[in-house]
């Protein structure tokens, strides 16, 4: 599920990155990161020790000794003064990002969040959840009855087409193959003069940077074009409608569909090109580390609870794109992490939020977090130092999960590789095997 993650961590949202242990902070130079030392208030300073007799030094200090002592005394006074000023300033700091709740249209997101929280994580309607998410962005101007009617009509079309082809409507393999053909082929019911054309990949603003609604199912249905967020989402909605079992699965910057047949053989459906893909091909992207597989953030089937978390992350992104980051975004993030702690998408969003919060606070005290020398001065603000630790911990979590940055160029290159002769051949072979199994179910 493409969510704008850049090497600053998110392809969409994060633009200031910090190192993974306190004491070092990484400031992006795009793409290299500089690091520097932050000195905490507890740092030990070396002091000169004198041997004393009767409480007096054994020898008179020379002029240089007096100069050094005066210099240290002045520096100590400056340090103490900075600490006093920091204590005064800290009382007036706002540690929360500015809220957008006073904007009239933000109320639609609060109502949407309340509705999403009412859903049962173990079993909910992805159709309803999708409508809630998109309707909040459109300020509740969408019509649920129209959306529901279109989904039901499409379900009727799929069932009738299955009947005409002789597919067993109780067979999961047959239902998923019908869905696959709906997305990738031209389908007709001539007796009713109904024709459906295959969906196409929308390469224009496919990450929704200029227009976040480009990520929506409603946009896909209206234009026939979508990307790896809206295409799998619609697949799951229609699978729900006709009673097919299918799952969302993630890979770097991407999401796709997995389903299995009655013999527990799994298929990967790549909807952006209308092809079946192998596990090997997905791994060939080069951006899936062993840690990512061990932590099951990629190439796994998403459970109902985890899917709701992904939808909440999508919901939070829509709000952040429309208004910005504030405490409401954090509330949605926390709920999503409660449902799916290892969600790479939500953890990235959390790092974005904490990074923006850190920069917002440092700017209040006149410190430029991008300037490694200036940033040393946060040592006088223990609460800001604690927040920096929190930022670093969050980025450590992302790295430990196995995330590796995949640039938009690399992602597009990987998508294009689906058209390679080898991939086309593998896709054809998988289709033939699929048809053999499907024909066996028709005969039975």
Distance between CA 109 and CA 48 in Å, rounded?
Answer: 61
Region 60-86 average pLDDT: 59
Region 101-108 average pLDDT: 94
Region 350-361 average pLDDT: 95
Identify the band that residue 192 occupies on the pLDDT scale cut at 50, 70 and 90: confident
Residue 99 lies in a domain: no
Out of 38-42, 102-106, 120-124, 219-223, pick the least confident. Answer: 38-42
Residue 308 and residue 129 in contact, taking contact as beta carbons nearer than 8 Å: yes
Residue 69 lies in a domain: no
Residue 316 and residue 332 in contact, taking contact as beta carbons nearer than 8 Å: yes
**Does 321 score more than 60 pLDDT?**
yes
Containing structural domain, residue 275? 114-442
Residue 11 lies in a domain: no
Identify the band that residue 83 occupies on the pLDDT scale cut at 50, 70 and 90: low
Distance between CA 414 and CA 287 in Å, rounded?
Answer: 10
Strand segments (E) across 176-323: 187-189, 194-196, 200-201, 225-226, 247-251, 254-260, 266-270, 275-277
Identify the residue with better confidence: 252 or 72: 252
Q: Over the stretch 374-424, which tens digit does the pLDDT of each residue have?
A: 988 898 888 999 999 999 999 999 999 999 998 888 888 887 887 776 777
Residue 123 lies in a domain: yes
The residue behind tokens 């504030």 is: 326
Region 104-118 average pLDDT: 97
Region 11-39 average pLDDT: 30
Per-residue pLDDT at 432: 75
Say how many C-beta atoms besides its own lie within 10 A of residue 111's C-beta: 14
Pick from 53-62, 131-140, 158-167 the range whose average pLDDT is largest: 131-140
Region 245-261 average pLDDT: 94
Per-residue pLDDT at 29: 33
Tell me the C-alpha to C-alpha distance, in Å, between residue 168 and each of 79, 192, 246, 269, 335.
Answer: 79, 22, 17, 20, 40
Per-residue pLDDT at 63: 58
Residue 377 lies in a domain: yes
Residue 24 lies in a domain: no
**Average pLDDT over the chain, rounded to an integer:** 81
Q: Over the stretch 204-237, which tens digit does the pLDDT of each residue have?
A: 888 888 899 999 999 999 999 999 999 999 999 9
Q: Over the stretch 270-299, which tens digit does the pLDDT of each residue have?
A: 998 888 888 888 888 778 999 999 999 999
Residue 322 and residue 373 in contact, taking contact as beta carbons nearer than 8 Å: no
Per-residue pLDDT at 93: 85
Distance between CA 242 and CA 181 in Å, rounded?
Answer: 14
The residue behind tokens 């005969």 is: 443
Per-residue pLDDT at 179: 96
**Does 322 score more than 90 pLDDT?**
yes
Q: How many residues appear in the chain?
A: 444
Region 240-250 average pLDDT: 97
Residue 349 lies in a domain: yes
Report the share of the chain in percent with pLDDT over 90.
Answer: 55
- Helices 304-322 & 327-339 angle (0-180, nearest 10): 170
Per-residue pLDDT at 178: 95
Where helices occur in 106-212 by DSSP H, the ranges are 107-118, 126-137, 144-165, 172-184
Per-residue pLDDT at 15: 31
Per-residue pLDDT at 187: 93
Per-residue pLDDT at 78: 58
Per-residue pLDDT at 261: 87
Per-residue pLDDT at 37: 32
Per-residue pLDDT at 112: 98
Residue 5 lies in a domain: no
Per-residue pLDDT at 69: 66
Identify the residue with better confidence: 50 or 290: 290
Region 104-132 average pLDDT: 97
Per-residue pLDDT at 87: 55
Number of domains making up the chain: 1
């Amino acid at each position: 599920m493409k969510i704008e993650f850049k090497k600053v961590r998110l392809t969409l949202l994060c633009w200031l990155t910090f190192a993974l242990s306190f004491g070092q902070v990484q400031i992006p130079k795009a793409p290299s990161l500089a690091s520097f030392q932050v000195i905490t208030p507890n740092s030990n300073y070396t002091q000169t020790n004198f041997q004393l007799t009767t409480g007096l030094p054994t020898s008179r200090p020379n002029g240089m000794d007096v100069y050094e002592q005066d210099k240290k005394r002045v520096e100590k006074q400056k340090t103490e003064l900075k600490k006093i000023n920091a204590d005064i300033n800290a009382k007036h700091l706002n540690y929360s990002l500015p809220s957008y709740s006073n904007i009239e249209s933000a109320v639609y997101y609060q109502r949407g969040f309340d509705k999403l929280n009412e859903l049962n994580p173990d079993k909910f309607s992805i159709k309803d959840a999708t409508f809630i998410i998109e309707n909040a962005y459109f300020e509740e101007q969408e019509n649920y009855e129209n959306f529901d009617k279109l989904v039901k009509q499409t379900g009727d079309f799929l069932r009738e087409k299955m009947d005409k082809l002789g597919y067993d409507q109780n067979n999961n393999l047959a239902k998923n193959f019908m869905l696959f053909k709906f997305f990738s082929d031209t389908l007709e019911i001539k007796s009713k003069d109904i024709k459906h054309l295959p969906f196409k990949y929308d390469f224009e603003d496919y990450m929704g940077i200029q227009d976040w609604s480009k990520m929506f199912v409603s946009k896909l249905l209206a234009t026939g074009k979508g990307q790896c967020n809206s295409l799998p989402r619609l697949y799951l909605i229609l699978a729900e409608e006709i009673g097919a079992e299918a799952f969302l699965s993630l890979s770097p910057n991407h999401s796709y569909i997995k389903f299995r047949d009655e013999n527990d053989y799994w298929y990967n459906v790549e909807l952006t090109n209308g092809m079946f893909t192998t596990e090997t091909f997905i791994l060939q992207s080069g951006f899936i580390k062993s840690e990512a597989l061990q932590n099951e953030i990629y190439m796994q089937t998403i459970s109902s609870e985890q899917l709701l978390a992904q939808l909440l992350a999508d919901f939070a992104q829509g709000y952040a794109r429309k208004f910005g980051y504030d405490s409401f975004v954090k509330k949605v993030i926390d709920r999503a992490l409660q449902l799916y702690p290892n969600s790479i998408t939500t953890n990235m969003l959390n790092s974005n939020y904490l990074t923006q919060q850190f920069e917002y606070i440092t700017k209040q005290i006149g410190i430029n977090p991008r300037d490694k020398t200036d940033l040393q001065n946060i040592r006088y603000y223990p609460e800001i130092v604690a927040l920096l630790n929190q930022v670093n911990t969050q980025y450590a979590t992302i790295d430990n999960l196995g995330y590796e940055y995949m640039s938009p160029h690399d992602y597009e290159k990987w998508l294009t590789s689906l058209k390679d002769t080898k991939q086309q051949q593998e896709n054809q072979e998988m289709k033939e095997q699929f048809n053999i199994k499907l024909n066996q179910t028709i005969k039975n």
